[in-house]
Amino acid sequence: MNQSSGKNYLNVIPVTCDGDAQAISEKPITSSDKPVIAPVKKEKEKELENKLNEQKEAKQKAKYERQEQMNILRNQLVYFDERMDVESSTFDEEMEIYDPTEEDIAAYGKYVTIASKMENEAPIIALVYIERILLKTGILVNKYNWKRILLVCLCVASKVWDDDSLENVHFPKVMADVSLVMLNRLEQIFLDLFLNYDLVVKGSEYAKYYFIMRTLANDLRDESLSAEEKMNLNKKKQKGDDWAQFPLLQPISAP
């Protein structure tokens, strides 16, 4: 260390591979040679603040968009109310609508599918769409709108599943309570606003709702049977098929 000039010097003597020492000219380390430390902390704080502001603005924008969507949904949902005449856009508040029973809903679904000659799979696809409407929009299915929601779900399900399905112009010819203007309007709201054209149904979804429908159908059938018919049905269930039993309870006799 050379202290004669009052400055600090660093002697660096690198060693080569051959072991020869080579002296390097001494160079003083002054304050100007020290690395400049940027205000990293302030920059990070500024970036974090900007991100928080952007997130806040995005949330406010999403909130306003959600409110706008809810207002649009509320205005369009009125067309599914049976008290609304779609063709004249008039609303009859004095019309009396009764709460439907399970039999009423099943009977109307059967009426639409039979009159429109829909495939047996259409009601299952329609049930998937109804579930999606509830999850995506949060609307409440009540005594005023259930019938038109079920109608449009069945019609769209028939078009998606069956290539030979009836078109909108044909449905009013087989159902007297349906008009072309009403069906076109309901279908437009259903596709654009309710589901956003999310119409694909996976095999797992179909299987799930198939067994739900089958359970509901069995429950409705059991409720409509008399005590004697229920007893005979239970005996058939208990008897079962000999070939389906494992392990075999007794030898199977050949016919």
Q: What is the rounded distance in angstroms from the CA atom of residue 196 to the CA atom of residue 72? A: 14
Give me 127's structure tokens. Answer: 């049930």
In the prediction, which pLDDT does 223 show? Answer: 76
Other CB atoms within a 10 A radius of the CB of residue 141 amount to: 13
For the chain, the structural domain boundaries read 48-213
Query: Is the CATH number 3.40.50.1260 carried by domain 48-213?
Result: no
Model-level pTM? 0.63
Q: Three-state secondary structure along 148-217?
A: HHHHHHHHHHHHHHCCCCCCCCCHHHHCCCCCHHHHHHHHHHHHHHHHCCCCCCCHHHHHHHHHHHHHHH
Per-residue pLDDT tens over the stretch 160-212? 998 889 999 999 999 988 999 999 999 999 998 899 899 999 999 999 999 98
